[in-house]
Amino acid sequence: MPFVIDTKFATFHGNLPYSSWEIIEKLESLNKEDVVGSGGFGTVYRMVMNDCSIFAVKKIDRNREGSDKTFGRELEILGLIKHINLVNLRGYCTLPSAKLLIYDYLALGSLDDLLHESKKEAQSLNWNSRLRIALGSAHGLAYLHHDCCPRIVHRDIKSSNILLDENLEPRVSDFGLAKLLIDEDAHVTTVVTGTFGYLAPECLQNGGATEKSDVYSYGILLLELVTGKRPIDPSFIKRRSNIAHWMNTLVRESRLENIVDKTCTDVNMETVEAVLDIAARCTNPNPDDRPSMNRVSQMLEEIMLPCPSEFDDSHSDSC
């Protein structure tokens, strides 16, 4: 069933190179065949313009949002945030019954789909590709934490919120719907959001969300990239465990080969060990002992630095 849009009440805000009339006309034509995903924040549609440009449209029902004034102000701020590893918010349309957020469309969909739903494509995710996805995702999250003003806590980092372009460049999505940290001294948000399996222990205990709870979720994402397992894999549920505890057990028993996704090729066990160490730091039960996302990005960059001997024979053969 297509959207029902009363053009008398529809308003578009954004920087798309189309008239409001063109955009609203395309929005009106969207129906269930155009649905490409859904989640806690709403349903996502694929919208194709007359010039064949493609955009993603997220529909948020009225009962899921706050006041128009607050919501609009947050979107105006978020529309200004640009980073290669963040999904670009291009505009939004206000309707009496819903808000429609328009984003750049990412051709390969989500990391969750690539790892868990599309087995053939998952085999193309070799170890270097997974490292690049990990690093790009870290850069995007670090930008939200350290370079945005006001700072942004994502609150729902997970593989389905990491979207990939045709070059496997990752972009963090749904950060625009996280609560903004406007007060520089207010480090904690109070609304409990997130996804089971990725939630930090303190979020389950007191509902608080901080940059460090995002770091925990990112650590779980790292483990998902290494293992190819969902955080709520049935094998963990059966043992009344989770992916972090499982990883720590295998590391203690020196069984790293049992951790790595069997479909992953060109695995370098030395870098696997280094990535698992980063994941362990990120998932430390004590938030104060977790690294910042800037530090996580630095550690991943160090892992990915090529050995100098690859470029200069005068260097030692060992890194």
Residues annotated as catalytic (active site), given as ranges? 156
The answer on whether 262 is annotated among ligand-binding residues is no
DSSP 8-state code for residue 57: E
Give the integer Cα–Cα distance in Å for 224 and 231. Answer: 7
Specify the pairing of strand 89-94 against strand 11-14: antiparallel
Q: Is the CB of residue 102 less than 8 Å from the CB of residue 47? A: yes
Tokens representing 59? 């529909």
Residue 83 carries which side chain, given as an amino acid letter? H
Exposure of 85 in the CB half-sphere (CA atoms within 13 A): 16
Which of 78, 75, 95, 76 has the alpha carbon at shortest distance from 86? 78
SS3 string of 96-135?
Answer: CCEEEEEEECCCCCEHHHHHHHCHHHHCCCCHHHHHHHHH
Q: Where are the alpha helices (DSSP H) in the chain?
A: 20-29, 68-78, 111-112, 119-122, 127-146, 201-206, 211-227, 234-238, 243-252, 269-282, 293-304
Binding residues for ATP, by number, are 59
Binding residues, by number, are 59
